[in-house]
Structures are given as structure tokens and as C-alpha cells.
Amino acid sequence: MTRDLEVNTSRFVKSADGTEIYTDATGNRSPSSPALVLVHGIFMNKGVFNPIFDDSKWTSSLFLVRYDTRGHGRSGKSVAEEAWESKRFAEDFEAVCREFEVREAYVLGWSIGAAVLPDIMTYTTSVKILGFINVAGVVSVDPSIKRRSSRPLVREIGGTLLSPPSVDAFHEALFQFLHICSDELSPELFRILLEGMVMQPRGVAAWAFKRKQNPEKMLQEARGGRLPLLGISGLKDKSLIVEELKGELEDLGWKRMTYRYIQDADHIPWVSCAEEFREIVLTWIKELTP
């Protein structure tokens, strides 16, 4: 069993290809306490989950694990094409889970972080996925899965961040992007996320959208009722057309899907509607956990 001191201290773990992944964990390590692995979105870092990790109602109920995905935060930022194959994302996930002795887990993917699911389902065999929580998320970057939920303004700002025409345009897009995510970020959290976005090379950020995925294993599990899904959208989300996101998941034929809308939540519902978001997630996990 990993010691408490080790669990609550951020550290680097090496993925299969040698890429260093920056990770930490906290919470209830009781054998009966479920593990929840949280995956952040594009341009971001694991600090976006600080409000969850700092909340005793979360940490007393679950064992929480998070990490900077490759190319983000303090994790490795290779520009080599082979570093961005789908299996690399599964290997990162597995390395993090191995570090904290997680053998089965629920996975929460936020925004484009939700697109890690096909990678995990296709390549990872040592960690049993008990269920998936899609928070305002893109479930795959594979072009065969049609996406119609993102708003034009987000695509425009994202394009500027990926290929800024000038330094001034880049800086303006940074602030716009964070405000689209949420107008309720604390000054400290705003700074943490802004710093992470600034330190990310533009060429590295672009790779998050380019990898080739095979969603077949994910779809088999979803359509066969073996992969429960909780979808959560905030009705004040400025980046998504929330009704379209639910439709996208329904079109995939997800058999065991629960979808919840939060009236006053934005793109980061654990910030804008912390209590309601927490209650939805913890109740769903409790219902599924033996």
C-alpha cells in the first residue's frame, strides 16, 4: 500500500516510452473506497481539479488520482510523431495507476480529456474501468465520430491558440479561453491555468487533436452495456451546445447512459456549481459500486 505521505505529494512517473508524467493523488485509501482518475482538457493541467482535491467531501468518499497529460503542465512535451500515438495515452494512464496501486477505477474526462477513453479501452488491460464520467466532453478525436456540439467561437479561439498570428493575439486568446471555460475561477486557479497554457509550446498543443484512434473497443463495451456512462453538462456552458452533446452520445448507441444537466453550471461545473456537481458524481458512483 502506498504511504499517505507519498500519495499526497506530486511526483513524476515514467510512461512506457520514457515520457515523464506529472501526477498526484489524495483521498480515502480504504479498500472499499472507489478510485476516480480525473483527466483534464486541452491547454490545461491537473491544477484545474484543485477545487475537487481540496474538498473534504470528495476526499473522504473517493481515492482521487490526476495527472498532467502528455504535452501539458509539467509532463513531457515531445514533438515527435511517435510520442502522440493513441497507445501512448493508454500507457500514461496505466503508469499513473500503477504508481498509486489502482487496479480498478472510474474515469472522469473533462472537455477533450474525455477523448482519452478510446485510448484506454483499446490498449490498457491491467486497470479495470468501472464506469466513465463525461463532463462537457469530446468522447473521441476519431473523425468517424461526428461532433456537432462545439460552438464556433471556441473553434475560433482554439485556432488562435494553436497557431497565433501574433503575441498580442495569443495573449488575448488565452484570457478569452479561460473566461469561456468559467467566469468563476478564483484568482489563484486562474493564475495556475494561465501559467500552464503559456508554458505549453504551440506545436505540442496541436498534437492533442491529431492522434489516430480506434473507437471500436469503446463502442463494443458501450453498446454491450458493459461501460456505464454518466454525462454532465452545464446549461450555461459557453463552449458547447449541450443538447447536441447528449445527442452525439445517444447516436453512438450507449446502452447504460445517465445524463444530467446542471442549470447554473458553466464548462467547469465543479467550480460554478460545486455542491450539485459533487452530489451527482458521488451518487452515481455509489449506485454502481458493489
pLDDT attached to residue 11: 97
Cα–Cα distance measured from residue 176 to residue 20, given in angstroms and rounded to the nearest whole number? 30
> What pLDDT is stored for residue 5 in this prediction?
47
Distance CA 278, CA 259 (A): 15
Q: What confidence tier does 203 reach under pLDDT thresholds 50, 70, 90?
A: confident
Q: What's the domain count of the chain?
A: 1
Mean per-residue pLDDT, 21-47 = 96
Q: Return the pLDDT at 6.
A: 66
111 - beta bridge partners?
A: none
Report pLDDT for 206. Answer: 84
Average pLDDT over residues 225-242: 96
State pLDDT tens for residues 60-98: 999 999 999 999 999 999 989 999 999 999 999 999 999
Check the CA dihedral 50-46-33-130 and report its sign: positive
pLDDT at 2: 47
| Percent share of the chain, pLDDT over 90 | 83
Q: How far is CA 168 from the centre of its chain?
A: 29
- Average pLDDT on 133-159 reads 88
What's residue 188's pLDDT?
97
Q: Is 43 helix (H, G, I), strand (E, B) or coil?
A: coil
Asked whether the beta carbons of 33 and 27 are under 8 A apart, the reply is yes
Q: Tell me, what's the pLDDT at 191?
A: 97
Report the CATH number at residue 218: 3.40.50.1820
Q: Which amino acid is at 263?
A: Q
Lowest-confidence segment of 219-223, 244-248, 260-264 by average pLDDT: 244-248
Domain that holds residue 103: 4-288
pLDDT class for 4, splitting at 50, 70, 90? low
Terminal-residue alpha carbon distance, the chain: 22
- Name 12's bridge partners: 22
What rounded mean pLDDT belongs to the chain? 94
The sheet carrying 257-262 orders its strands as: 11-14, 20-27, 63-67, 35-39, 104-110, 128-135, 229-234, 257-262
